[in-house]
Amino acid sequence: MSDPMMPRRAAMPLEQLLAGTDDMLDVDKMIEKLAPAQAGQNFRPSDDLMKVMYLFFGTVEGRQIIEWLMDLTVRAPYPHVNGSNFEQAAIAAAKHQSRCGVGEVILEAVAQGKRLLEQAQNRS
């Protein structure tokens, strides 16, 4: 008999996901991972936007939205593979990786916003 399933939010709490960003690459590197072609600086959020994202995360509504986005991206289940051929498994992996990549960039932007605000406070 299998164990009862744990809800995704309990298995992957947002605090744990954000704590995992300490050793992650910066936002520019994360965006490079997402794009098969050169994305350019137009896709990098501004420092102000990253600060706002962190402040938004600190509100009840903002946290609910970011939790929901993590449910859709990082916490999303691996896509079902119909059949057993390599191409279908590779497509499923690519779908999952691209979905997770979006969530990782959001998490990194929130974490970078926190770091930027802390740096500004330390300078004051």
Q: What is the per-residue pLDDT across 87-108, written as a single tens digit (0 to 9) for each?
A: 888 888 888 888 888 898 899 9
The alpha carbon of 64 is separated from its chain's Cα centroid by a whole number of angstroms, namely 14
Indicate the number of domains in the chain: 1
Within a domain: 3: no
CA distance 48 to 45: 8
Task: Judge whether residue 80 has pLDDT over 90.
Answer: no
Q: Is residue 5 part of a domain?
A: no
DSSP 8-state class, residue 43: G
Cα Rg of the chain (Å, integer): 17
Does 8 reside within a domain?
Answer: no
Rounded to the nearest angstrom, the gap between the alpha carbon of residue 86 and the centroid of all alpha carbons in its chain is: 27
Buried b (16+ CB within 10 A) or exposed e, 85-119: eeeeeeeeeeeeeebbbebbbbbbbbbbbbeeeee
Confidence of residue 39 (pLDDT cuts 50, 70, 90): very low
Structural domain of 87:
14-123
The terminus-to-terminus CA distance of the chain in angstroms comes to 58
Mean pLDDT in residue range 65-84: 87
What is the chain's length?
A: 124
